Structure 1
Amino acid sequence: MDILISGGSGFLGSAFSKALITRYQEQNKPLHTTWLTRDSSQAHPDAIAMLSYDELEKTDKSFDVILNLAGAGIADERWSDAQKETLLASRIKPTESLLKFIARSSVKPKLLVSGSAIGWYGVQGDTPLTESSPAKDDFAHHLCETWEQLALQATESGVPVAIVRTGVVIHPDGGMLAKLLTPFKMGAGGQLGDGQQIMSWISRDDWVEAVIFIIEQHLSKAINTHNTPQDMHIIYNLTAPNPVTNHTFTKALGTWLHRPTFLTLPSAVLKIMFGEMATLLIDGQKVLPQALLDAGYKFKYPTLEQALTQQS
């Protein structure tokens, strides 16, 4: 397999690349992995090739799969108007470059896997949400919907698209968990707001395994490319099957770290601290991975306790 990854050096892309390379080496199967980057001279693992966006415009290479993960972290900074534009542009520009490459390629990819987030559903409390559920409009929904609709234009070139809506990814190397480790280890961890908001999470190991599963499933049993573009895409929620409340998450993290979790950050304080972005912390979503389960994926870590204690 020949795969091109945008955002390959990030928290998810690097873990995915490492796992994919290891798997194909163990199975003695050919694999060529390329990271799409602004600077192709940046440091990278020996087993990975680099391709800049400028080089993408001229290359005659072909790829079996494209994994599109590029995008600034939605929780990296307060959502000012300028930051909202940055979040959108950081997703739109790389995706547009990939679409141009796909359109002019004589040998089309067999699959585009494009990132998104469960923010697509908007704030819906404890309502169970699957891939067929409607959304409620807010900034997170607008951001995800714009990104998804752009990626789906690849179907107009005859390329099937799998959209992956990712929940809160759990791993101590990065993401939300890495940011929480220091205050929790200092005994300053605690629940957010009333703690009843639902958190839809997934271990990083399961995120990686699920994306590999999706790719291999679609390469062996491709989406029907003889139908209309609307029939050539599928949505996957990349969340574990057992979402938890923030209270439960807080207690589980404290138990794992052997630290107390008596503190509480009131919702009003969070809104003052983070502004509109506080919705990520105090408004829950109960998002379920129905499409993954229907496809036969078996989670390595279906419970939060397993994800905290067992993943690599």
Structure 2
Amino acid sequence: MKVLVSGATGLVGSELVPSLTSQGHEVLRLTRRQAEEAHDIRWDPSRKELPKGRLEGTDVVIHLAGENLSQKRWSPQFKQTLRSSRIDATRFLCETLAQLKSPPKTLIAASAVGYYGDRGRDLLNETSPPGTGFLADLCKEWEAACEPARAEGIRVVNLRFGVILSPKGGALAKMLTPFKLGGGGVIGSGNQYWSWIAIEDVVGAIQHCMTHEKISGPVNVTAPSPATNYDFTKTLGSVLNRPTIVPMPAFVARTVLGEMADELLLSSARVMPNRLSETGYRFAYPSLEPALKHALAPQPAKH
């Protein structure tokens, strides 16, 4: 298939693109930087710049681009940047796709389990209502921004990502240094659920959604065994063979990180991947300990 990917150099995109290419798909990359290769297409959502002609005849669009949530404290200005990089950019892309003579059959767009907000021990699936808070509102509007594509008859899949396990970036990469130094520990009460997913299963789930034409709407991209922060902490410490005795009380997390602490670290979302399971997706890493062992295994040296 001819596949267009935005966010191709990000945490997910950098794993997805080589996987798609190895399967024989032709991959075009939407980039905000200067196009360096023939397969690169430069776009600038803030200026509404995107060469329509280059998108004609694309079979699938996988839209992963968006500013990193944990890049800095959530000042009013940065929250606006987060909204613009997700909601405005997604709407512009979808409006452009809807105007093509030959629009893609499928749009697979990123979202997050932040959609559900802080829900304690409730078991959540794709039919659960949205929560409250900045992240929940952001995810709700982010998904709604796909409406121009959906209205044009494009099959739209909204991927609600959990905490992605990769040593190359995201939450796990940030946790490794303190844990390796013996400074890791439970955050807040430790009772909050973290819905996690191995990076291999993120790539697998995207490809599953590409080929299963009956899948549309929200899809939880999380492993079937969400863990409490306490269990996550103890398992990570065990895999790294390090103690986990330095807790981070909630007030310290809030002092250091502000509002982001409540929404990313202290809130609880016990999310189940019902749509993936119902449509026959087989998880490579359904359990946390094997997933962490694989993610943190020494990488073979490149010659």
Normalising by the residue count of structure 2, what TM-score does the alignment of the two structures yield? 0.91
Q: Secondary structure at the match of 1:241?
A: coil
Judge conservation of contact 2:187–2:247 (CA < 8 Å) in 1: yes
Deviation at 1:136, TM superposition (A): 1.9
Aligned equivalents of 1:105, 1:149: Cα separation in 2:
20
Matched, 1:14 2:14: yes
Amino acid at match of 2:128: S
- Tell me the residue number matched to 1:269: 252
Deviation of 1:289 after TM superposition, in Å, equals 0.3
Aligned partner of 2:27 in structure 1 is 33
Listed one character per residue, the Cα deviations across residues 176-207 of structure 1 (whole Å, up to 9, x for unaligned) are: 11111111111111110121111100000101
Displacement, 1:94? 2.6
> What is the CA distance between 1:275 and its match in structure 2?
1.3
Paired letter, 1:32: E
- Percent of matched pairs sharing the same residue: 39
Aligned residue type for 2:253 = L
Query: What secondary structure is seen at the aligned counterpart in 2 of 1:11?
Result: coil
Runs of 4+ off more than 4 Å: none
Contact 1:165 1:235 in 2 (8 A): yes
Given that 1:56 and 1:101 are in contact with CA atoms closer than 8 Å, whether structure 2 keeps it comes out as no
Residue ranges of structure 2 left out of the alignment (5+ in a row): 44-48, 298-303
Q: Deviations over 1:224-252 (max 9, x none)?
A: xxxxxxxxx42100000001111111111
Corresponding residue for 2:126?
Answer: 131
Show the 5 A alignment for 1:20-99.
Answer: 20-22=20-22, 24=23, 30-42=24-36, 49-53=39-43, 54-59=49-54, 61-99=56-94
After superposition, residues 1-312 of structure 1 pair within 5 angstroms as 1-22=1-22, 24=23, 30-42=24-36, 49-53=39-43, 54-59=49-54, 61-218=56-213, 222=214, 233-279=216-262, 280-311=264-295
Q: Tell me the TM-score normalised to structure 1 length.
A: 0.89
Paired residues in the alignment total: 290
CA distance in 2, matches of 1:205, 1:40: 29
Q: 1:60 to 1:192 in 2, by over 3 A?
A: closer
Give the deviation of 1:58 after TM superposition. 4.7
> Quick check: 1:6–1:94 contact (8 Å CA) kept in 2?
no
Q: CA deviation at 1:212?
A: 0.5
Q: How has the CA–CA distance of structure 1 residues 58 and 167 changed in structure 2, closer, same or farther, with 3 Å as cutoff?
A: same
Confirm or deny: 8 A CA contact 2:187 2:248 kept in the other structure: yes
Runs of 5+ unmatched residues, structure 1: 25-29, 224-232
> Over aligned residue pairs, what C-alpha RMSD do you find?
1.6
Residue 97 of structure 1 and its aligned partner are, at CA, apart by: 3.0
Please report how far the alpha carbon of residue 66 of structure 1 lies from its aligned counterpart in structure 2 after TM superposition: 0.3
SS of match in other structure, 1:293: helix
Question: Offset at 1:75?
Answer: 1.8
